[in-house]
Amino acid sequence: MLTATKLAIETTGLVKTFGSTHAVDGLDLAVPLGGVYGVLGPNGAGKTTAIRMLATLLPLDGGTATVLGHDVASEPDAVRSKVSLTGQFASLDEDLTGTENLLLLGRLYGYSRAAARTRSEQLLSAFGLEEAGNRQVKNYSGGMRRRLDIAASIIVTPEMIFLDEPTTGLDPRSRNQVWEIVRALVAGGTTVLLTTQYLDEADQLADRVAVIDHGKVIAEGTTGELKASVGSGALHVRVTDVATRPAAAALLREILEVPVVEEADPAALTARIDDPKRVSRALPALDDAGIAVSTFALGQPSLDEVFLSLTGRPTEEHAS
Ligand SMILES: Nc1ncnc2c1ncn2[C@@H]1O[C@H](COP(=O)(O)OP(=O)(O)O)[C@@H](O)[C@H]1O
Ligand SMILES: [Mg+2]
């Protein structure tokens, strides 16, 4: 793709196969320099595999990729010197404390003992880990661990960082802390490539996103554009008794006359909203049918709904 804007990442026809699995299957990405670019897709879509190729940790089986102007296959050292990676691959030593890990990495990056100490203190304080600094990493909570992972990967401010599902499995408070860190990285001039399974996370952070499925880009744009492709909004319902969900889904389909998605949460349903008037009929109808609900709310579509709208099927994780 020819463009006047300088690209941080450009891939054409990127391929990776594991036996008969086409993990990445002709992936084309054009990631602008600066800001956050989201790679959004369900479990197994090929996000981690793509990132590992871009980070030069996995050889390409096909296609080309450049990162900050360097070809990942022919100039891997140049790519590695400019890019930081966190996620499933961060190499923290569980038996060391947070401070010890950061000091060690600082020394590896060539800081003097004093400079490593200063940088480690800065990072622990910026990430709210001052207290935890003297504890062994194996005793950290998930949220603390994730923050330390990111701190460890920005000891030297990188031009580009790959964050592979940095908030998956975190509670809302820890998730917000990670979001703040991502915003701070961007403010410091780092380009962030972020993978996520959550549309709302992409919405919070990403300037643009590529939705991927089976190793291919199936949609690209701003999250606003993706949501617009689904409809104006979504109805989110949680039933009190999970056994009543199938009946609730059937009833909502009948009243709303739109697809109703059964979410991974066994009590949750979402439906695209085209006609708000029909929504007002749904709650009394559920009540009449003896189905108790704990949530009945209008909001933004989820990744599942965007997916259903793009592919005509739910994210596989949730297909039953
Ligand atoms: N080392 C591997 N060996 C075999 N299959 C793999 C390997 N890594 C990933 N896969 C498969 O490739 C597909 C994409 O996986 P992955 O890139 O981890 O997806 P995501 O990060 O989007 O969840 C999945 O079907 C996964 O099972
Ligand atoms: Mg992954």
Average pLDDT over the chain reads 89
CA distances from 114 to 75, 100, 117, 213, 238 (A): 33, 13, 5, 47, 54
Using 50, 70 and 90 to split pLDDT, how confident is the model at 316?
low
Distance 49 CA to ligand 1 centre (A): 6
Whose structure tokens read 């960082």?
161
CATH H superfamily, domain 4-227: P-loop containing nucleotide triphosphate hydrolases (3.40.50.300)
Please indicate whether residue 281 or residue 91 has the higher confidence score (pLDDT). 281
Give the lowest-confidence range in 82-91, 178-187, 226-235. Answer: 82-91
pLDDT per position as a tens digit, 222-242? 988 888 777 667 888 999 999
Q: For residue 50, which atom of ligand 1 is closest to its CA? A: 17
State in Å: Cα 50 to ligand 1 middle: 10
Q: Measured in whole angstroms, how far is the alpha carbon of residue 167 from the centre of its chain? A: 7
Cα 81 off chain centre by: 24
In the numeric block, which tokens belong to residue 278? 């029909």
Pocket-testing residue among 21, 89, 163, 211, ligand 1, by greatest number of atoms within 8 A of Cβ: 21
| Per-domain boundaries in the chain | 4-227, 231-300
Ligand 1 pocket, CB under 6 A: 18, 21, 23, 41, 43-49
**46 C-alpha to ligand 1 centroid (Å):** 6
Give the range among 117-131, 181-195, 201-215, 262-276 with minimum mean pLDDT.
Answer: 262-276
Ligand nearest to the CA of 40: 1
Distance 46 CA to ligand 2 centre (A): 7
Among the listed ranges 65-79, 129-143, 201-215, 219-233, which one has the minimum average pLDDT value? Answer: 219-233
List the 70-71 sheet strands across, edge first.
21-32, 7-18, 62-67, 70-71
Pocket test for ligand 1, best of 17, 18, 193 (most atoms within 8 A of CB): 18
Tell me how far the alpha carbon of residue 300 lies from the centroid of ligand 2, in angstroms.
Answer: 24
Residue pair 119/110 in contact (Cβ under 8 Å)? The answer is no
The pLDDT assigned to 261 comes to 87
Q: Which atom of ligand 1 is nearest to the CA of 42?
A: 22
**Ligand 1 atom, smallest distance to 45 CA:** 22
Specify the ligand 1 atom closest to the Cα of 43. Answer: 23
Q: Which ligand is nearest to the CA of 43?
A: 1
Question: Cα(208) to centroid of ligand 2, in Å?
Answer: 19
Token couple for 106: 């600082």
Q: What tokens does 180 get? A: 């703040």
Q: What's the first-to-final CA gap in the chain, in angstroms?
A: 39
Which pLDDT score is estimated for 3?
A: 47
Largest CA distance in the chain: 72
Q: Band of the pLDDT at 88, cuts 50, 70, 90?
A: very low
Using DSSP, state whether 116 is helix, strand or coil.
helix
Q: Which CATH number fits domain 231-300: 3.10.20.30, 3.30.70.790, 3.40.50.2000, 3.10.450.50?
A: 3.30.70.790
